[in-house]
Chains A and B, each alone.
Chain A
Amino acid sequence: MTTYVVRRLLDLVFVLFGVSVLIFMMLRAIPGDAVAIMLGANVDITPERVDALRRQLGLHLPIHEQYLRWLTDVLRGDLGRSVWTGRPVADEILGRLPVTLQLSGMALVTAIAVSFPLGMAAARTRGTRADAWMRVSSIVGLTLPPFWVGVLMLYVFSIYLPTWPSIGYVPFGDDPLGNLARMVLPVIAVSLPMIAALTRILRSSLLDVLSLDYIRTGRAKGLAPRSLFYKHALRNALIPVVTVIGVQAGHLLSGVIVIEQVFAIPGLGRLVIGAINERNYPLAQGVILTATVVFVFINLLVDLAYAWIDPRVEYG
């Protein structure tokens, strides 16, 4: 087990290296650099000054030298400074990470808490009208883009419940109730597709397991239906569900990026979108690296969860 975790963490180093090369090259492949964007379209400025600005930001160097410089700094733990604000990139990220983690974490927990009872109910009532209704609504839930749901809810709340604080963000420490109230709409918008996906997979996985021989045997030897369902069927049905949770967690991050725009929540999504638009290379690189680390860790946790659910899974 320990060897497995260590090996996975070593993998992380290679993943990060690959990602760092990719984002570095991709960001620079977009036409226009920070200086061009900074100067915008309506400005008198001499070509000498433009060159001086590029030099200041190190943009005059060949791209491999720029990469080596950046990589050396990152290995020393220095992510550089934001081109526009001059603040350290690490500070910018640490300020936003908790916001995005809270939103994603609450969405994940909500999705699991809602989809498990729904999926189980659907499996037990297979073929009934309730089951059909749940299947249709889960397809609808899967296809609704969080962005659209977010804007719609915002609009509806602004008319019918104008006193509900639905926009922006306040730190939990400053105002716990205000913080949670502002999380409600974004969490619903982000978790809907995940609820739909998890409900569907849990239902079909449970139905598969329930038709297996050992369940029939259990029933024949007179096990209580409750114990048969929860203790024997559910646990076995969870394995594909956990895989889907891992995949969906990735989608969740992208949904959160969009929903932060809609609800004016100052998280990593807002930060990275702004950074890319401004060609703020150090900041964009720093955020994407951070997101990669988070994503890889989620996948690691999912893999470890298999062992907890299914004792047959071994890590060598």
Chain B
Amino acid sequence: MKRLAFLALMAFGVVLAQSGTLELAVDGSPAGLDPHKVTAFSSFTIINLIYDGLLEINADLQLEGALAESYEISDDGLTYTFTLREGLEFHNGRAVTSDDVVYSLERILDPETGSPQASRFTQVAQTEAPDDRTVVFTLSEPFAPFLANMPNLYVVPREVVEEHGDLQQVAVGTGPFMLGEIVPDTFVRLDANPAYYRSGEPGVAELRFNIVPEASTRAAGLRTGTYHLLPDVDPTSAETLRRAPNVTVLGTQDLAYTLLGFNTTRAPFDDPRVRAAIGAAIDRDEVVQAVHLGNAVPAGPLSPALTDWALDTDAYPCYAQDTDAARSALADAGYPDGFAFTILTFGTNRVVADTAQVLQAQLERAGLDVEVNVAEFGTFVQDWQNSNFDAFVSLNGGNIDPDGYLHRTFITDGSTNVFQHSDPELDALLVRGRTTADVDARQEAYREAQMLLACEGPIAHIAYGTLFSAHTAAVEGFVQMPTRNLRYLRNVTLNR
């Protein structure tokens, strides 16, 4: 009997800590690895496994300690004191001290670095390191989302930056995995960090991110076991993979949402009545069925995943779809015969292009003459940045704090306010939301802001899709995150 049990163990294999190579397939190569410089999603997929901030976001979208084991906020909301964990080490073996945190923030704020993260930390007036494990940030004004930005304060070692000029080609962090090898357009290999600060992790010895641009190739590779895990699967492939033997398909609510944005400096979109009329013509449920095969929810200005902040979409009057009401609202606004306009969009994301087409049909039912211009992605970005559009359909990433998305997008002259929208009432609410420490007062401000934005804002929010991942039976312990962050690969083990 004992012998049988032993044989069974031999046959099915034993789960060992840090053994085996987890093969992943992703669609793009990382474009540089400097956590303070890059913007590409494909880069952050890798960076988030190599580097840590002081805090991290968990699967429930709550903040918890990463490099910091605790923090304190002064009563006036101006001083944040963080205590680092004991015995932290960079991948090169050097101990992490609070000086490294100070250096990293200085590097982010240095205009020479040109860091896209800089605007998250402009309220920091002073950073001090009173001892090796304590960092004190003093803000110039209260800034409620400050903690939510802590995961983006990636801590890097000064000597490596100075030796190489930047961190685009080298990577020395504190995370569960260390950069092993990059073969461009082929794979990125990460090796387990034996000195990682969480005990028992990571569970595999190597991660190999295979770069496979074709979705059907990735799916075929998962079926054959060439790959163990596909972090991002499109809805159609998810449906077919569901029927494949030995494949598990996971789904979670995506923080990113599709949207129809308007140029509020161009007539007739400068008229809030016209924007509300278009809102009434949109049938979000139809988009959910036609584009997402039912795997989505209608979108308001904030993701339902932000349970503390988001209003239910039933709260918005214009979300009751009514084509006749849309027609008469357009007539009241002076457009009894509708008008013609063009929706700018891009073709590399199937969900986005399909959404544009469904919206086109819906708006034409309300008497509008809509043309869809599917531009090449670079062209789209250029026109988007220059506000060179009547309207556009796109996909926006989300943020765990409402300020992270609402402020830059909707405040007058905000960095991504390409609509050139300007509403003093909304501006006041957005400022109140970020400068008030009291959570109830913040919630009230964002409730009002959502009501203002839902119907007459420069964006008609369309749908929050489902983010699908798929893995083979060999993978255990994979947890999906709505932010698409793959930090929890550190928990994954392989049985063979």
Contacts and interface: CB of A to CB of B under 8 A. Distances in A.
Contacts of B114: 45, 49, 52-53
Contacts of A159: 223
A184 to B, nearest CB: 15
Most chain B beta carbons < 10 A, residue from A32, A38, A92, A261: A32
Contact of B186 (A42, A87, A168): A168
Interface in A3-31: 30-31
B116 A45 contact: yes
Contacts of B385: 36, 39
A263 B378 contact: no
Interface stretch (B66-74, B81-89, B212-220, B477-485): B212-220
B415 interface: yes
A43 B414 CA distance: 11
How big is chain A's contact interface, by range? Answer: 35 or more
A92 B416 CA distance: 35
Contacts of A95: 184
B185 A271 contact: yes
Contacts of A158: 220-221, 223-224
B210 A266 contact: no
Contacts of B220: 154-155, 157-158, 166-167
Contacts of B217: 151, 154, 167, 262-264
A84 B381 contact: no
Interface in B107-122: 111, 114, 116, 118-120
A100 B40 CA distance: 27
B224 A38 contact: no
Interface in B201-230: 210-214, 216-217, 220-221, 223-226
Contacts of B118: 44
Contact of B221 (A36, A84, A167, A270): A167
A87 B184 CA distance: 11
A277 B221 contact: no
A165 B168 CA distance: 33
Interface string B371-403: 000001111111111000000001011000000
A284 B395 CA distance: 28
How big is chain B's contact interface, by range? Answer: 35 or more
Nearest to B114: A49
A85 interface: yes
Given A45-B114, A264-B212, A38 B378 contact: no
A91 B185 CA distance: 14
Given A45-B415, A86-B168, A167-B217, A36 B31 contact: no
B39 interface: yes
A96 B415 CA distance: 39
Nearest to B117: A44
Given A39-B116, A162-B223, A167-B212, A32 B378 contact: yes
Interface of B: 29, 31-32, 39-40, 111, 114, 116, 118-120, 168-169, 183-186, 210-214, 216-217, 220-221, 223-226, 376-385, 394, 396-397, 408, 415-416
Given A31-B378, A48-B111, 17 more contacts: A30-B379, A32-B380, A33-B382, A38-B31, A41-B416, A42-B416, A43-B39, A44-B116, A44-B118, A45-B116, A49-B114, A86-B32, A159-B223, A262-B217, A264-B213, A271-B184, A274-B185
30 contacts: A30-B379, A32-B378, A32-B381, A32-B382, A36-B378, A36-B382, A38-B31, A38-B40, A39-B381, A40-B40, A41-B416, A44-B119, A44-B415, A44-B416, A49-B111, A85-B169, A86-B168, A92-B184, A151-B217, A158-B220, A159-B223, A166-B224, A167-B221, A261-B213, A261-B214, A262-B217, A264-B210, A266-B184, A274-B29, A277-B378
